[in-house]
Structure 1
Amino acid sequence: MKPTQKFMSLLVLLALGGCATLPTGPSVRVLPTPGKSFEAFMSEDAVCRQWASQLLGQDPQETADRNTATGAVVGTALGAGVGAALGAASGHAGTGAAIGGGTGLLFGTASGASSGQLYGMEAQRRYDNTYVQCMYSKGNQVPGTMRRVRTRNVAPPPPDMYPVPPDYYPAR
């Protein structure tokens, strides 16, 4: 495989990896209480989604995208600077800057995407908590936590010590 083919396949993998998105709404299931009309439930759902979005300030996916872009810009700038400095030592500052910028873009984007995913998941968790609180306050059924029952681990008692029967003779 030629170096350009390796680079292009790596670039395609990174591009496809960037297609993963966070949910655009709550990632928890809330059910209407028995007897509540579906229209009333949908109205409450819309109000709670709006309230959670307003309280959070921005979409979790926007947070992830912003961190990815920031990582790409910072990585490109740092890579170009380091590449130019190393290239100047060998008399090829322009080539060093280009290689460093490309490498910085690649690793900066990867680092920013990783950071963005973490911040996006945290924003999604806060959105879900706010949404669940709102839906619960309106009387809907929300997922609960299961109480973990702890059992004591008790060792079994030692076996009884029976003497060897009197008619036992080992085989010789």
Structure 2
Amino acid sequence: MKPRSVPLLMVAVLVLGACTAMPSGPSVMVLPGSNKTFDQFLGDDRNCRQFALGQVGGASSPQASNTAAAGTPAVGAGSSGDPGYGAQYGYDVAYIQCMYASGHRVPVYGQMLGAPPATPPANYKPDFPPPAPQGNAP
């Protein structure tokens, strides 16, 4: 290898390394559980942030070392072309799971209905007639 290519190689490694960033916190909103105090929420938040960081390989936690020892990638690793996005997604998933397991309210996506909306009976007659349609009236 030429002496001139070593510094160029080092610069390339530094530039690529700067593209991957560990998440600094969750990008989702979690609310305290119904039976939880705000102090309990703050304690669980701190614990779950540490847990989530360990899941994406950002901290030396027992789970992170077990994952590395097993040779399996951390949560979210390689799930997108953008390494920062994959790490943030994995962090958010682990954080939500931890907070939900601790009894807090987490975001739920999609429309959730316990039962279909009730339909009025066939003989239902409203007390007043429906309004006239809006449009070009003569």
Q: TM-score, normalised by structure 1?
A: 0.38
Bigger helix fraction: 1
